[in-house]
Structure formats: structure tokens, C-alpha cells
């Protein structure tokens, strides 16, 4: 049985929440046609906040669509589900629906089940013309549906489900991020600022202080940064000051935030992917964040003849096995176009093995119609995808950072 609350813009709702059943909110954008005619591309209208399962959300509607690389198609309306409240991300199933006067559903998004954090965008919710035809008393009514995923666990349930609060450790640790009073490590990072106009532009340097805790650094890093952060042992207040000269303040802050259990948004990862990779690799911190930034970089970078060599060298220098795999696939697929136009003189000799691996995987898929990771019934680690190798290592509690050769070698040693 589902519960439904109708919400007029301007009136905060109250919600009845129940695990396994849908909780719904109808958000009405009154005089939608007039709102659409008065807005331009990337301008949005924000609904009041509404609550689902202890978290605050709102809708941002883009009548003329969103701009940018991942923006809306021409003539389409964009929609964002924005999380307002801070705290631990919530895993929910959610979707949207728009009905016409007759009650017939005109728009229905595919239901997602994921950890919702910050926002989720639907740049192509529906054509503007279609939504104008679905107005009810001149209002665009968007039905937001959410529910907690039903557990697939086979454990016996009591007749009445009891409320059990989640472990507060993650929230508690995250609350200590940048907490100056309890910090025992202070990172000092220089930041350059520009002032004045074009004719009188001046550069000045300021020192940004980032406050942290030694036990967090020791738990989430290699010995390099942990050793730097050790107390001097010369009395005083036991606070260690560390100067960081080769990482931008905002990038280092992102990495520290991750160490405290924070989750970076897709936009933050996309805008800082290479800098985050460099920082994590140099100081041996946040290896999982390094791989997450690598995945974002791979998914948002379009390989071409002009940049394939730079990306290959970058992947080699930082042990980015997934990026190198993507480059190898591109080289195999576009070999005829690349020959004579790209010089690989500065590339390491191990690249030959990576090319042969990509060729073997491609040939096997064409000949047998098997997936990339089908080893013909055997553990053929040499042709498996990097993602599969990393997953297998992670299940064994082993290191997932390194070149393909290192990942394969570690798996063979522990199989």
C-alpha cells in the first residue's frame, strides 16, 4: 500500500514513510507555460523543500533545459532532484511521473536504486511541448516517488519492524572534518590570488590552513604522509604543522574530506580529476579516491589522435590501469588512423604487452561472441578487464592500485 501527499509550491508537506512501499509527493509548478516563456536556458525554478526518510530534498526545474556538455537536448526540459540536508547518503529507489488531465501517465522515468548524494540530474525529462500538453489547471504536476529498497536478506523478520538507528560512527568522524579545536595536524598550503584589472593585475600569496587529525591520516595513507605528520616530541601542544607546496588547497581539502568519509560530487570529481589523482598518488592517500577520480576521468574524456599519447604517458606515470586499458582499446580500434601520426618512442616497453592483451581480448570477443572477461572456463587473468581484476583483489583484501601487470601478478600469487 502506498502513501501520497500532495504538495503545493509554497506549502511544506509532511510525509508518511514506510519501508518497501512508495512514498510520493506531488509538486505543482503553477502557470508553467508563463514560467517557461520567462526563463532562458540554464535558468531554473526551485520547489520548496520536502522530506523523505529523514532527508530534505527539493526539485529544480529547467523549463528551457540545462547547458553544458551533459546538458539538455534542444527543446527538452531538465530536472534535478537536489539533496538539501547534509549527512550520510541514503540508498533509495526513486523516479518521476507526469500525468495529464485524464490521469493517464505522460512521462515516466526509469526507477533508479542508488546512493543519492547532493543531486541527480535528468537533463532530458521530456519535451517542453509535451509537458505543456500535460498541464492540469495550468500547473505542471510532477510526482516524486521514493522508497527504501526491500532487503533481499533471508533472515527472519519480526512481525513488526522496529526502528533501529544506523551506526553513527561515520557521521561522527565526518563532523570532525576541519575541526580546529580537536585537530593535532595543521596543513599549510600557499594559494595564489590575482587582484586588480587587466592593466594593473597583481598576484599575491596567502596561506590556507587545513585542520586534520593524526589518527585519520595514519588510517588512510601510506607511511609517507603519516611519517610527515608524526609529532616532533618537543613538548608544546603536540600539534604538527606540515607545509604542502605542490597541491592546490581546494584539491587537498577534497582529499582530506574523503579520508573523513565524505563523498565528492560528480562535478567536483570531473573538475579536479587529474589534480586529485596526482595528490593521491604522490602522498599515497585515498587510494579508493584515486581510482574513483580515474574512473571519472575515463568516462568524461574523449580520446583522439591528438591526446592519446598524452593520456598514455599520464596513465603510465600514475599507474592508472583503467585509463591505460581505455587507451589500448582506442589504439586497437583506430590503429590504421594512428600509424604515422603518433610517435610512441617515449612509451615504456610494457605497453607492447598491453596492446597485445587488448588485441587478444578483441579477437576472442569477435570469434566466440564471449564477453571481455570470459576466460573460456579458466581464470585467464591476462585478458581480464582491469575492473574485474580489481574487484577480485578487493574481495581478497589485497591492494587494488597498480599496473595491469602488478594486478595480475598479485592475483596469481594469492590464488
Greater model confidence, 297 or 225: 297
51-69: burial string, b at 16+ Cβ within 10 Å, e else:
bbbebebbbbbbbbbbeee
What Å distances lie between residue 213 and 217, 222, 223, CA to CA? 7, 15, 15
- Chain centre distance of CA 6: 32
Look at residues 123, 120, 178, 171 and name the one whose alpha carbon lies nearest to residue 146.
120
3-state secondary structure at position 302? coil
pLDDT tens-digit map of 272-299: 999 999 999 888 888 889 999 999 999 9
Instruction: Dihedral sign for Cα 253, 254, 259, 262, please.
Output: positive
Q: In whole angstroms, what is the distance from residue 415 CA to residue 185 CA?
A: 41
User: Cell numbers 541514503 correspond to what residue?
Assistant: 90
- Which residue is associated with the grid cell 570477443? 365
Beta 112-116 vs 45-46: how paired, if at all?
unpaired
Which has more pLDDT, 223 or 227? 227
Return d(Cα 386, Cα 74) in angstroms, integer. Answer: 37
Tell me the CA distances in angstroms from 257 to 206, 212, 326, 371, one per residue in order. Answer: 21, 10, 29, 38
Chain-centroid distance, C-alpha 215: 26
Residues 45 and 63: their CA atoms lie apart, in Å, by 8
Q: Report which secondary-structure segment, H or E, holds 373.
A: none
Residue 16's pLDDT is 33
Contact 134, 98 (CB under 8 A): yes
Residue 19: what pLDDT? 39
- State the Cα–Cα distance between residues 263 and 91, nearest whole angstrom: 14
> Between 120 and 117, whose confidence is greater?
120
Distance CA 279, CA 72 (A): 33
When pLDDT is averaged across residues 346-364 and rounded to a whole number, the result is 78
Query: 232 pLDDT exceeds 90?
Result: no
The residue with cell 586499458 is: 325
Average pLDDT over residues 199-223: 80
CA–CA separation, 29 vs 142, rounded Å?
8
- pLDDT higher than 70, residue 110: no
- Cell numbers placing 359: 588485441
CA 322, 395, 112: angle at the middle one, nearest 5? 70
In DSSP terms, which residues pair with 6 in a beta bridge?
26
pLDDT in tens, 12-63: 333 333 334 677 888 999 999 998 999 999 999 999 888 877 778 889 999 9
Position 212 pLDDT exceeds 60: yes
Q: Is this prediction's pTM over 0.75?
A: no
As a whole number of angstroms, the distance between CA 184 and CA 174 comes to: 16
pLDDT of 339 over the 60 cut: yes
Amino acid at each position: 500500500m502506498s502513501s501520497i501527499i500532495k504538495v503545493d509550491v509554497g506549502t511544506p508537506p509532511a510525509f508518511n514513510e514506510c519501508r518497501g512501499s512508495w512514498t510520493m509527493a506531488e509538486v505543482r509548478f503553477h502557470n508553467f507555460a508563463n514560467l517557461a516563456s520567462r526563463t532562458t536556458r540554464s535558468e531554473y525554478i526551485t520547489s520548496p523543500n520536502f522530506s523523505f526518510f529523514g532527508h530534505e530534498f527539493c526539485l529544480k526545474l529547467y523549463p528551457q533545459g540545462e547547458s553544458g556538455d551533459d546538458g539538455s537536448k534542444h527543446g527538452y526540459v531538465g530536472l534535478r532532484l537536489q539533496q538539501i540536508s547534509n549527512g550520510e547518503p541514503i540508498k533509495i529507489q526513486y523516479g518521476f511521473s507526469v500525468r495529464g488531465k485524464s490521469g493517464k501517465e505522460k512521462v515516466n522515468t526509469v526507477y533508479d536504486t542508488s546512493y543519492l548524494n547532493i543531486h541527480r540530474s535528468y537533463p532530458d525529462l521530456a519535451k517542453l511541448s509535451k509537458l505543456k500538453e500535460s498541464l492540469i489547471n495550468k500547473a505542471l504536476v510532477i510526482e516524486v516517488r521514493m522508497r527504501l529498497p526491500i532487503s533481499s536478506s533471508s533472515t527472519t523478520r519480526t512481525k513488526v519492524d522496529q526502528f533501529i538507528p544506523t551506526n553513527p560512527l561515520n557521521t561522527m568522524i565526518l563532523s570532525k572534518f576541519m575541526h580546529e579545536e580537536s585537530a593535532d595536524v595543521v596543513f599549510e598550503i600557499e594559494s595564489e590570488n590575482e587582484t586588480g584589472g587587466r592593466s594593473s593585475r597583481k598576484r599575491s600569496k596567502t596561506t590556507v590552513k587545513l585542520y586534520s587529525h593524526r589518527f585519520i591520516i595514519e588510517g588512510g595513507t601510506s607511511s609517507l604522509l603519516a611519517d610527515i605528520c608524526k609529532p616532533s616530541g618537543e613538548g608544546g601542544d603536540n600539534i604538527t604543522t606540515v607545509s604542502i607546496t605542490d597541491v592546490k588547497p581546494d584539491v587537498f581539502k577534497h582529499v582530506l574530506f574523503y579520508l573523513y568519509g565524505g563523498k565528492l560530487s560528480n562535478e567536483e570529481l570531473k573538475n579536479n580529476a587529474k589534480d586529485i589523482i596526482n595528490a593521491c598518488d604522490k602522498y599515497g592517500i585515498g587510494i579508493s579516491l584515486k581510482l574513483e577520480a580515474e574512473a571519472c576521468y575515463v568516462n568524461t574524456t574523449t580520446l583522439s589522435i591528438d591526446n592519446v599519447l598524452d593520456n598514455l604517458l599520464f596513465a603510465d606515470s600514475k599507474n592508472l590501469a583503467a585509463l591505460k586499458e581505455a587507451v589500448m582499446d582506442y589504439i586497437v580500434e583506430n590503429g590504421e588512423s594512428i600509424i604515422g601520426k603518433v610517435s610512441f618512442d617515449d612509451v615504456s616497453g610494457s605497453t607492447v604487452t598491453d596492446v597485445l592483451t587488448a588485441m587478444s581480448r578483441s579477437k576472442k570477443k569477435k570469434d566466440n561472441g564471449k564477453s571481455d572477461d570470459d576466460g573460456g572456463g579458466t581464470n585467464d587473468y591476462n585478458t581480464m578487464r582491469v575492473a574485474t581484476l580489481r574487484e577480485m583483489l578487493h574481495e581478497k583484501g589485497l591492494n587494488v592500485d597498480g599496473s595491469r601487470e602488478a594486478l595480475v601478478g598479485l592475483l596469481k600469487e594469492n590464488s
